[in-house]
Structure 1
């Protein structure tokens, strides 16, 4: 595949290929969100990716959206993450931390507080807590002081990430979580400066991006977006107006990359990709687990203007995905039973090509 395996500059780094490991929550944490040691092995196994973006990581207790989702706001969590990113670097890889606040996609059973959101608009659906599946509650609207504190949580988490060795940070502004909630007139019905028209609704995501970029540098800061993606009860009727305004504001900050989620409004993503002057990452990893299909999807995305291509389940099941695609080898099948829970099974036990070949000849 022409270009797919060529080195490419990114955020002050040189990536060895254009394949990005997409953020994927895997649930291998303690009850308080501290990474388990097996996570270091998991991520280091996948260090051949041009770039690894970590699973969504919460910068405060109230930001938590699911049971056993990972966090970075205590010294113990920082030590655990330092071990993970150190293992990736020793294996020759590069790694960004993704920072995410769940907003209304949360529940008091996870942190003892009423979830926060732009407005008191309850999400349809049920929460993933430690026991049962309760309905999402009506969230508490963030006050002006809450907004300032949340921006600071993102900035502090980014600073910690840089201090413990991460190569950069991706802000999670997609998939129906807090930043995404601010962008929609359905989930954001505020009448202050953070609501109303597009300029008001993009204000909070831009403030988060500005604060993170000020901490670690704009070239090492990116954002993930999903315009038009209905996950987590989202609706964006005026997305064609909101996202160009958001991209222009982020462009002024000099952010290093924008990462678009599969399932977004395809036409709008194409328009936004052309509008963005720096690195565009496009998620193309949701199709069938087949080498030829994966390569075809990658080729089309590059032709359509993507600079980097992110894959989720393909990397989950194939630690050596770049090499498998380079030599057009078959891909391992993933096992959904162990996507979000368990230990090493379905996590660090997927075979690589050398091991597979050894198994055949023995």
Structure 2
């Protein structure tokens, strides 16, 4: 059976190991959402991951409500990403760009536009803005005639990602953002072709992913889903039905891989008693499956051994351990991340975690 340290084919790319770096928002771009030089060092340091999935990258100003998060809709952003991807490649690594529309999880003070969603249901909690935390605003329901334009922003961002040197892209369809809210019947109350049945609610996911795959190749296109439990107020009364519908919608496209973030009952950054959906998804999706959330080495290897997963993505461990694959391979202790610096500006808690040799 393969181990975490064996290579794996993920569509058009061959990952050198099965320890993937999960997408991690770090908010170190500038106010125009252009990557900064700090980001070159950050991603270079983590190039030993089998594949880096970048932090979430905005497909449009309309959909990017996170201050200092990067985008991929302008020439300046494409130029800013080029030295980042080059640095990863110079170290022998691979990197996909995660494409993000935040939907109802934005604030107009950041985007200049009202938030969008499948239905006018306000998200719980607050948005991060340049002026501090502010309550989420009521979203307006995305009109049918607007949907092709939103899909086009994903296609443009995917093409820009290829131009910027990324090896592929991941469509962010998880965690309560735009596509995820269309999937879940707790938020999607539409009565048109994008609402109602699980198949209708999976329509936007299928159309976005197929359009991106047509533009840059299905073998360089991946998807992230989160199907069990509540994330940022997004829920579904029947997780199994939407899991099957989503898997069936994606199966014929021929993705490089599908990543599932699965909350556990004792999760450290979100928890759920809803059973994980990966065994059910596996029955309807035959491509490479990557699993994520609160894994240790033994749990990760067990899911590889069973054939459920072909790789495991690690998030927060990569924040504090730039050489995570090496540390896991030799059983070295892991640094603990400083949560206070997750989204703070500057190098502290970003590029100053020591690799194993320096720590020793």
Both structures adopt the same fold (TM-score exceeding 0.5):
yes
Q: Shift of the alpha carbon at 1:301? A: 2.5
Partner of 2:211: 211
Partner of 1:302: 304
Runs of 5+ consecutive residues of structure 2 not aligned to the other structure: 265-273
Partner of 2:317: 314
| SS class of match (2:235) | coil
Aligned equivalents of 1:123, 1:217: Cα separation in 2: 34
Segment of structure 1 superposing worse, 295-304 or 114-123: 295-304
Contact 2:2 2:305 in 1 (8 A): no
Aligned equivalents of 1:247, 1:225: Cα separation in 2: 10
Aligned equivalents of 1:164, 1:259: Cα separation in 2: 23
Aligned equivalents of 1:145, 1:19: Cα separation in 2: 41
TM-score (ref. length: structure 2): 0.94
Partner of 1:290: none
| SS class of match (1:278) | coil
Partner of 2:346: 343
Report 1:94-105 matches (<5 A).
94-105=94-105
What per-residue deviation string (whole Å, max 9, x for no partner) do you get for residues 92-151 of structure 1?
A: 100000001000011111111111111111111111111132211111111122211010
| SS class of match (2:127) | coil
What per-residue deviation string (whole Å, max 9, x for no partner) do you get for residues 130-175 of structure 1?
A: 1132211111111122211010000110011112211111000000
Aligned equivalents of 1:76, 1:295: Cα separation in 2: 40
Partner of 2:73: 73
Aligned equivalents of 1:348, 1:266: Cα separation in 2: 36
Report 1:256-267 matches (<5 A).
256-263=256-263, 265-267=274-276
How many residues matched? 350
Partner of 1:166: 166
Report 1:83-98 matches (<5 A).
83-98=83-98
Let me know the Cα RMSD of the aligned residues: 1.4
Partner of 1:22: 22
Aligned equivalents of 1:186, 1:267: Cα separation in 2: 18
Partner of 1:327: 330
Q: Shift of the alpha carbon at 1:2? A: 5.6
Aligned equivalents of 1:21, 1:266: Cα separation in 2: 24
Contact 1:169 1:222 in 2 (8 A): yes
Q: Shift of the alpha carbon at 1:196? A: 1.4
Aligned equivalents of 2:356, 2:25: Cα separation in 1: 25
What per-residue deviation string (whole Å, max 9, x for no partner) do you get for residues 38-59 of structure 1?
A: 0011001000000000000111
Aligned equivalents of 1:139, 1:123: Cα separation in 2: 8
Contact 1:175 1:229 in 2 (8 A): no
What per-residue deviation string (whole Å, max 9, x for no partner) do you get for residues 171-190 of structure 1?
A: 00000000000011221111
Report 1:240-259 matches (<5 A).
240-259=240-259
1:355 is aligned to 2:358: yes
Aligned equivalents of 1:245, 1:262: Cα separation in 2: 17
Contact 2:258 2:289 in 1 (8 A): yes
1:273 is aligned to 2:282: yes
Aligned equivalents of 1:208, 1:4: Cα separation in 2: 31
Aligned equivalents of 2:186, 2:199: Cα separation in 1: 16
Q: Shift of the alpha carbon at 1:226? A: 0.4
